[in-house]
Amino acid sequence: MGNDKISSTKDIESELYALINTILNAYKKFEEGLINNQFFRRTVKNAINELLRFNFYLNEENIDLSLLLQKMNFAEQYYEAIGILNKLSSLEFSSNSDDNTTKDPRSFAEKMSSTVLELPGITLKITTSFITLMDALKLNALQERELIDNLFTELLKNMKKFPGLDNLRREIKRIYESVFPKSNYGERGNKSSEEIVDEIYQVFKEFHSKLNYKA
């Protein structure tokens, strides 16, 4: 899928078919000993990343995945692939990856598999958290510490549910700690609300661009 726009229903179906079959075929070859563990991990991880991007596109275009699967008569294969992703929790899925964002070899596969199933809801929660936090900062500036504190916490919690956002989550945490330094609990930093909103918005844009989702 990459950066290319899917131009038709046929293209959408072909993309989904290719992604799911990549996972199924890689797993079959891995079980048969035709490909090694490293190649299997890399192949499936790439397919999962593309599947995440694909789900972002469906969400953007208001396309119902369940209806698409029904139309394609492809639900059985789709959920078989999801089942394989669930099984990957026992593999050291990210220990030798190029993007080693987690120290727990089980958590990457677990997060990825749940994300594929729950992506529209998680994406909406993260987006809503970003927007609500920025709106609150614009409207209330930094006068209501408890509100802003809770909104930062909610955003960080929602971002934690999405795989591959560790760097962005650390950036939000850095912004949060610059607003309310731990060493001066009860006080706030010297940044204006406008400066904070600008910093958060940059992370917000990175979150969307990460999976080719236009803000």
Write down the mean pLDDT value for the chain: 75
Whole-angstrom distance, CA of residue 180 vs CA of residue 173: 10
Alpha helices in 61-182 (DSSP H): 65-72, 75-87, 107-140, 145-160, 166-179
Q: Determine which of 10-14, 61-65, 117-121, 194-198 has the lowest per-residue pLDDT on average.
A: 117-121
**Best CA proximity match to 79, nearest among 93, 61, 65:** 65
- The pLDDT of 116-123, averaged and rounded, is 59
**Best CA proximity match to 205, nearest among 99, 120, 127:** 127
Instruction: Give the single-character DSSP code of 212.
Output: T
- The pLDDT of 40-57, averaged and rounded, is 76
Q: Determine which of 31-40, 41-50, 143-152, 160-169 has the lowest per-residue pLDDT on average.
A: 41-50
Q: pLDDT tens, 75-111? A: 889 888 877 765 664 343 333 344 444 444 445 445 5
Whole-angstrom distance, CA of residue 109 vs CA of residue 87: 8
Whole-angstrom distance, CA of residue 63 vs CA of residue 37: 35
Q: pLDDT tens, 155-209? A: 999 888 776 788 899 999 999 998 877 645 445 556 788 899 999 999 998 887 7
Which residue's structure tokens are 């927007």?
A: 131
Whole-angstrom distance, CA of residue 119 vs CA of residue 164: 13
Percent of the chain with pLDDT over 90: 20
Which residue's structure tokens are 């809503």?
A: 128
User: Packing angle between helix 9-31 and helix 37-60, nearest 10 degrees?
Assistant: 160
What's the pLDDT at 175? 95
Whole-angstrom distance, CA of residue 26 vs CA of residue 22: 6
